[in-house]
Amino acid sequence: MTETMRLQKFLSHAGIASRRASEKMIADGRVAVNGKAVRDMGTKVDPFSDVVKVDDQIVQPADKSFYLMMNKPPKTVCTEKDPQGRKKVGDLLPKHIPRIFTIGRLDYHTEGLLLFTNDGELSQALMKPSSAVAKIYHVKIQGPPDPEIVARFERGVRLEDGTRTKPSPTELLRTTKTNCWYEIILTEGTNRQIHRMFQTMRRTVLKLKRMNYGPLNLGLLDVGEHRFLSDNEVRSLYREAGLRLPKKPRRSK
C-alpha cells in the first residue's frame, strides 16, 4: 500500500520542477489528476494509482533519486534547450537515468563542479538564498595582483546596478607574467557575480572554475566527466540544506 502525498511534492520528487514552481503550475491550471484539472494546493495523490499530467504529458513517479556531480566543460549551457544550438551539459549525462536537473547553473564559459538531481526538495532547499551555501571559485584575471581586490571583496562590493554583495573571502593564489589567479568564496549567486565584481576593479575575468559546492569538492574528476554521489555525500548536502537526514537516501545508479 502506497502513501498519498501532496501534488506539488509529487511533481517535485518526479523531477518536474521545484516545489514552488510546481505550485505555480497547479495554480496556472497546467496539472490534471485522473483527467481533471486541479488548482487546489491541498490535493493529494497516490503516486502509483493516480494519473498525473502536466501540459497533457503523463508524469512518472520517481521511485529512485539520482545525485550526480559533473566537472562542467567550458562552452556548454545548463539549459535543456538552446536556440543557438550550443552543446548542453545534459548531453554528457548517462542516457539510462530519468530526467534530472542542475542545482543552480554555471555560465556558458564557466567550468567546474555542477550538481544534478531529481530530488526537488533538496534542490530547492540548497538554492534558497537563506541557505547561504558556500561555493569556492578559482578565477584567472588579466593583469598583475592588487591588494585592493582582496580588501574590497572581503568588505563587499557595490555592483553597477547599485546592489551590494556579501563579504566574499578572497585570496591570491598565484601569478604569471601577465595574469593572476584568485580564490573567492561566495555564499550568494547573483547573475555573473564574479565577473561583475571584477568589473568594479576594471579587471577582466579570463577563466572561472567552481572547485567546491558546500561540502563537496571537485577532486580529480576530469573535465566533462561525471560521477554519482555517495550516500555520505548526499547526507552532507541534506545537512547543508537544513533538511532532515534520510535514513538511507533513495539513491540509484
- Cell numbers standing for residue 232: 555520505
Measured CA distances, 243 to 97, 126, 136, 171 (Å): 25, 10, 22, 32
Complete DSSP assignment for 197-237? HHHTTT--EEEEEEEEETTEE-TTPPTT-EEEPPHHHHHHH
From the candidates 50, 107, 146, 222, which is the catalytic residue?
Answer: 107
Inter-helix orientation angle 120-127/19-27, to 10°: 110
Answer whether CATH 3.10.290.10 is correct for domain 5-58. Answer: yes
pLDDT for 63 equals 65
pLDDT for 62 equals 67
| Cα–Cα nearest to 125, from 107, 104, 105 | 104
This prediction has a pTM of 0.78
pLDDT for 1 equals 43
Confidence tier at 246 by pLDDT (50, 70, 90): low
Euclidean distance between CA atoms 49 and 130, whole angstroms: 37
Answer whether CATH 3.30.70.1560 is correct for domain 134-213. Answer: yes
Euclidean distance between CA atoms 177 and 148, whole angstroms: 20
Least confident of 130-139, 161-170, 221-230, 238-247: 238-247
Euclidean distance between CA atoms 34 and 52, whole angstroms: 6
Verify whether residue 107 is a known catalytic residue: yes
- What CATH class has 67-130+215-241? alpha beta
Domains 67-130+215-241 and 134-213 share a fold: yes
The residue extents of the domains of the chain are 5-58, 67-130+215-241, 134-213
| Cα–Cα nearest to 153, from 218, 213, 198, 217 | 198
DSSP class of residue 59 equals P
